[in-house]
Amino acid sequence: MQPASTDHLSRITIELGDRGYDILIGKGLLGDARTWAGLPRSARALVVTNDTVGPLHARALMDQLAGLHGRVDCLELPDGEAHKDWQTLNLIFDRLLATVSDRKTVLYALGGGVVGDMTGFAAACYMRGIPFVQVPTTLLAQVDSSVGGKTAINHPLGKNMIGAFYQPIRVICDLDLLRTLPARELSAGLAEVIKYGPIADLDFMDWLEPRIARLRSLDMDALGYAVRRSCEIKAAVVAADEREGGLRAILNFGHTFGHAIEAGMGYGTWLHGEAVGCGMVMATELSRRLDLVNAAFVGRVRAMVSAAGLPTVAPHMPASQWMELMQHDKKAEAGSIRFVLVDDRGHADVRPVADDVVLDVISRCTEPAGDAAPAATR
């Protein structure tokens, strides 16, 4: 399998009828006229970003939007998962109302998954729905969060618990935006790239295994192919099951263990991608315990996660805390925890697993008590 050159723009259409849209992937997309063709013209547009990404990239985006909109404003939210809340969301509504924005106003989400999820939710709510465009600036957002229309804010009692399914009208993955991304964030995004192999495409896993170092060094051809293949897989899953009636849950491979790590350590201690990477190792080990994959397959997943610079050993938490945290997972049904399990044919399935098997996997995959910081931060 040969990666496509990223000199040219790749276009993936997400087939959702009148809610369908294009995902554009390539280098230099902000400055490419094709990126903006067909987007609605309107009197007003608002770029929503944060106080880290805004100073780096907002000017370049706003310069391009001047040709589409009469007035383009920019709102910089405070950076961080801790601000993915009602107060910060309200800043978007404050600005939209203060600038007398109407139903034709277009929102542009310029940032990682936090900005994208909040801007999408604001777009879903303002005047009962206005158009929005995703301009993802992290690898995680380019391969996962900007695609598929999940939007949300956090509640003190649960992550992403308040939100809506609301699709963007375009996703613009400009690979050049990744050049300023910190290495730790790039590694975290690689977890979501790695997940697509075991759940859907073993050829992609074969391609990825020897190329992780190239991706970490921002090889643009490798990145272009990794983003494109990830988006193709996600687009197909979302088109088949937009509102997660069943199949879409496979995209949560590693997330049941991962969310428990994120919450148990305190949000922000482990990045989402770090927790998901470790969670994928645990979910693959769980699949081995159920005879779905062999030990060599677990070793391959562990080696990829490690090569991405992500921890492969979970922090110590009491067994009761693991189980309680995992019961809050959105896949849980009537208090029964459900896991995404993989087999050696590149298929995934979601089902409950007996507690004793889960606890055995946790004990094999965790550090001894007293050593709880993610390996990546040591």
Residue type, 189: G
Considering only 115-123, 199-207, 248-256, 301-309, which stretch makes contact with ligand GLY by CB under 6 A? 248-256
Q: With binding defined as CB under 6 A, does residue 361 bind ligand GLY?
A: no
Number of neighbours of residue 131 by Cβ within 10 angstroms: 19
Using CB under 6 A, pick the residue from 76, 117, 144, 262 that binds ligand GLY. Answer: 144
- The correct pick among 27, 44, 150, 228 for binding ligand NAD (CB under 6 A) is 150
Given the residues 259, 302, 331, 338, select the one marked as catalytic: 259
Binding ligand GLY (rule: CB under 6 A), the pick from 83, 248, 272, 300 is 248
Query: How far apart, in whole angstroms, are the C-alpha atoms of residue 61 and residue 115?
Result: 15
Please give the structure tokens belonging to residue 9: 């723009």
Under a CB-based contact definition with an 8 Å cutoff, are residues 357 and 291 in contact? Answer: no
Give me the phi and psi of 161, to 5 degrees please: -85, -20
Could you tell me the CA-to-CA distances from 367 to 6, 97, 363, 371, 374 in Å, in that order? 41, 50, 8, 7, 10
Annotated catalytic, 50?
no
- Give yes or no for residue 148 binding ligand NAD (CB under 6 A): yes
Rounded least distance, CB 102 to ligand NAD, Å: 26
Assess 113 for contact with ligand NAD (CB under 6 A): yes
Q: Check residue 54 for interaction with ligand NAD (CB under 6 A).
A: no
188 contributes a contact to ligand NAD by CB under 6 A: yes
Partner whose binding site includes residue 117, from ligand GLY, ligand NAD, none (CB under 5 to 8 Å by kind): ligand NAD
Chain length of the chain: 378
Alpha carbon separation from 334 to 53, 235, 325 (Å, rounded)? 41, 29, 15
CB 352 within 8 A of CB 329: no
Q: How far is the CB of 148 from ligand GLY (least distance, A)?
A: 4
150 in active site: yes
Instruction: Locate 326 and state its tokens.
Output: 């995992």
Q: Out of 76, 185, 192, 232, pick the active-site residue.
A: 192
234: annotated active-site residue: yes
In the chain, count H helices and then E strands.
Answer: 15, 11
From residue 42, alpha-carbon distances to 32, 131, 198 in Å are 20, 11, 43
Task: Please identify every residue annotated as catalytic.
Answer: 128, 150, 192, 234, 244, 248, 252, 255, 259, 272
Residues that bind ligand GLY (CB under 6 A): 144, 148, 150, 248, 251-252
Residues that bind ligand NAD (CB under 6 A): 50, 52-53, 56, 79, 81, 84, 111-115, 117, 137-138, 140-141, 144-145, 148, 150, 160, 177, 180-181, 185, 188, 272
